[in-house]
Chains A and B, each alone.
Chain A
């Protein structure tokens, strides 16, 4: 007895937590899973089930009867004056929406004998078409928030919008959400009281208009960037010549002044970089970002120059380094939103630019070769080699025509003219593609939402998978509910079963009856993924080597407890699945949380088993007295109770199976 309570406490704690969540979560959408027309084929599927009957060895369950079988009738839906008519069966296809359930009775008008809805008739068209065709479409002219409201009113989840319209719907929704977020950010200008100094600094760096200090800093850095760039430029201008020397650039004349300016700028930039590095929430990510790389490249030459002596050999390299100082101009992109957008669009046009470059290269090589061989004969030809002709080809194709290299032979002139004509074509063709691409991207995506689209797609697939597994879960749910009802009936509490009995539509109950017949035909039951893997883990842990050959897998599944335990023992030797295929079909998110929760349950089982003082490797595990078998029996889905009173074994199994159902729910969402 105490052992059983131990187990209950072990699993019960988990169950309590999970059942609470389970209560909050909505039930799986049963009716939404089956498409409209498919429900009409259910009689055919049930009739075809006669093909299983001669193969089955067990008696079939009783078919659900249509209690109020009435002829199909037309019902009138009056939506703000526009009358829609449809068959009642059409609406009954989706019993968990407003129109498919009894909720529509609230809108029934006795005098006119029609259902009146005071909603938008244009949107209602799409909603009614969903019942008719099974596909929900999103009309483009409709406002996204109005459409969402209508869907929420009629109890339809937006995730089932069909693929043809889903992209559009998601785009509009995202734009709307961004607009709302922008509005929110504008209104949220007040400083949050509990922000650390570091966070305040980071916020000041990212949004300069939040405080005056940030604004001052923003303008100061901008000014110094400009100063630095101008000094770089002016350094090279020849300014004033002393009579005995040639024109010297200003940099050499006023070395000290320029050096001081350079030092000041670099000081400011270094301080700025260090402050940003300190304030960044994720320093590693900040250091990897493009802007910080530009900062580093901008100030590095100065420090390298300080370190290097006036060695003649390296001064050449030192000069090259100074070129990198021009990168300081890119620091302006922090100050200009337009520059950032330009950079992003160039990045996304990369494929078109690449194509342009490739086609140009091809043409250049072809024409350079042709020109070289055409001009080979002529004397004093500038076309000394094919690479030398590259220059001529580029200049001609881009219609620059410097005139430093001109063909002299007639063949050369002919090919030269062909070259210039084709150059116009080759360049003119891809450029409009790039331009249109640019404008499309500029108008549509100003932020990097490709990654966001990936996340949305994943989330959508996850929700669709949930609704799909909802149909299989629905069957298992109804089985458990059916079991629970039977258990409650046997204990005599009739008042509760109505409360627990989920109202399933006739179509759903007929579908479940069909699946039940399949179970009986094959003499195997459908179980949850989780339970299946748990029971596999169980049997693997027990590692019973002996197999009882006398028990076949066919008969006796509903027989005595000993036979079931023996079968459990015989399973690992014949199990075809490897442990690596533990979680084959679970979604990433599901998998992660599913593993955690499963491990949790495993641990409780282990503690309970150890508290029961078990030896799991006991080959005599077939002994009915061993309580380790009791734990395993609790986890499995119970078969319908045959004879004895099932209250005590029934309640924990249902709790456990509910917990696993709860586990599924929690991990899925």
Chain B
């Protein structure tokens, strides 16, 4: 009797996991993504067809499924900075690229951001940078956010630097930054303050034009 009941329960238990497995398979296939047509992307961005082709080939090579998740993004970005730890900065970059907050970057997001960074106007570039620094997207950059960003940048340097990094180096850097940017001394930097201050600084203006010929 007990054996009969035992076998019956075993069978029902078996049926449930298989249904979950099918659901899992469905989920996996949905993640694969194809971008919109080439003409649409050409219209939306400042790239021509050839450049979009080159970009997509590189993108698809590294991410065959068509989307980049944060882990892959961090790995790719870390390869360029073998000295230190680029994962923190890559995290902020990922959030800046992922404008739809979907947790993954599709090719359209990628290309839109690149279009701004490489072919956009100065105002657009500065706006994008402001969005990068404004981690919680509240429209203001406060000292904690800036410290996080600057610490992440310093992390990429690694340990073996000259002069050696001290623990308060990022903080001092943030202080200097706020000195320059925060016009009304209210402890936060708004978008207008940011753009105004950057436009006053020749170094920054020059360096924004630095990567014009990247593609």
User: Which residues does A use to contact B, with CB under 8 Å?
Assistant: 33-38, 40-60, 62-63, 65-66, 71-72, 133, 468-469, 471-472, 511, 514-515, 517-519, 521-529, 531-532, 535-536, 552-554, 557, 567-568, 571, 574-577, 636-637
Contact = CB atoms under 8 A, between A and B. Distances in A.
A571 B58 contact: no
Interface stretch (B20-28, B33-41, B146-154): B146-154
Interface string B118-137: 10000001101100110000
A535 B55 CA distance: 43
B62 A40 contact: yes
B154 A576 contact: no
A531 B160 CA distance: 9
A45 B80 contact: yes
Contact of A53 (B54, B169, B208): B208
Contacts of A33: 82
A43 B160 contact: no
Interface string B146-187: 000110011011111111111101001100110001000000
Interface of B: 50, 54-55, 57-59, 61-62, 76-77, 79-83, 93, 96, 110, 113-114, 117-118, 125-126, 128-129, 132-133, 149-150, 153-154, 156-167, 169, 172-173, 176-177, 181, 194, 198, 203-204, 206-208, 210-211, 213-215
B91 to A, nearest CB: 13
Nearest to B51: A43
**Would you list the 10 A-B pairs with minimal beta carbon distance, nearest first?**
A40-B58, A37-B62, A47-B117, A524-B161, A532-B160, A37-B61, A60-B207, A53-B207, A527-B162, A525-B162
Given A51-B93, A524-B162, A637-B162, A57 B82 contact: no
A526 B157 contact: yes
A42 B214 CA distance: 9
Contact of B79 (A34, A53, A65): A34
Contacts of A528: 160
A518 B157 contact: yes
30 contacts: A33-B82, A34-B79, A37-B58, A37-B62, A37-B76, A43-B118, A44-B110, A45-B80, A46-B214, A47-B113, A53-B129, A54-B129, A55-B153, A59-B207, A133-B61, A523-B173, A524-B154, A524-B157, A524-B169, A525-B162, A526-B161, A528-B160, A529-B160, A536-B164, A552-B172, A553-B169, A553-B172, A554-B172, A575-B164, A576-B166
A51 B129 contact: yes
A252 to B, nearest CB: 66
A56 B203 contact: yes
B77 to A, nearest CB: 7
A476 B159 CA distance: 15
Contact of A521 (B153, B163, B165, B208): B153
B71 to A, nearest CB: 15
Contacts of B83: 472, 515, 526
Contacts of A66: 213
B158 A41 contact: no
A55 B158 CA distance: 18
A125 to B, nearest CB: 18
Contact of B114 (A44, A60, A62, A575): A44
Nearest to B126: A54
B196 to A, nearest CB: 12
Given A40-B61, A536-B164, A636-B162, A47 B177 contact: no
A38 B86 CA distance: 15
Contacts of A47: 113-114, 117-118, 211, 214
B211 A557 contact: no
Contact of A532 (B61, B164, B181): B164
Contacts of A527: 160-162
A33 B83 CA distance: 13
Nearest to A34: B79
Given A47-B114, A59-B203, A567 B163 contact: yes
